Amino acid sequence: MNYRLLVRIPTVLIVLSKMLFVACLIVQAAGPAGESPEIEAARLRIKLYQGQEYPLQRRLLNSKINIAKAQIQSYERQLAEYEQFTKFKYSAPLFGQLEFTKVGLVQAEENLKNLIEEKSLLERFHQDRMRLMQLELQMLQRSGL
């Protein structure tokens, strides 16, 4: 039996299927013929928001939230260390640094609250924003542009 023929057939099929896949992608990317630039722009706006902007915003907010949590933990550890030296009766040798750390802790906590709220709003209104973009696309399609 000729085994070379068995090896070449699947390779040819793989190459042909790849070419067919690329051709389908090109046809799909071209979009419907005669579509106006406004409709195509609306479609692309939806695609970019859903595939790029929204996931990127969520990822960035998650990173900022993690950083804010780490800052809070750091400030809390610093406070615990500095408060050991405030037990003196008549003076506190690290008073300035202690106050600076307390202010930094409050700032980090407020930053964390704001970031969590921003992420919550982003996720809460994601569907509304998607629906608004889809409605704009439908209005453009109906107007015949």
Decide if 34 is inside a domain: no
How far is 129 from 131, CA to CA, in rounded Å? 5
Please name which of 110, 79, 106 lies closest in space to residue 95, comparing C-alpha atoms. 79
Taking only the tens place, the pLDDT of each residue in 52-77 is 999 999 999 999 999 999 999 999 99
Question: Is 137 or 11 the better-scoring residue by pLDDT?
Answer: 137
Residue 67 belongs to a domain: yes
C-alpha dihedral over 52, 53, 58, 59, to 10 degrees? Answer: 50
Confidence band (pLDDT; 50, 70, 90) for 37? confident
Q: How confident is the model at residue 98 (pLDDT cuts 50, 70, 90)?
A: confident
- The pTM (predicted TM-score) of the whole model is 0.66
Mean pLDDT of the chain: 83
User: Would you place residue 20 in the very low, low, confident or very high pLDDT band (cuts 50, 70, 90)?
Assistant: confident
Residue 122 lies in a domain: yes
16 within domain boundaries: no
Report whether pLDDT(31) > 60. Answer: no
Whether 130 is in a domain gets the answer yes
Domain containing residue 49: 42-144
Domain count within the chain: 1
Please provide the DSSP assignment of 67-94 as one string.
Answer: HHHHHHHHHHHHHHHHGGGG--SS--TT
pLDDT at 29: 63
Task: Compute the distance between CA of residue 132 and CA of residue 128 in angstroms, rounded to an integer.
Answer: 6
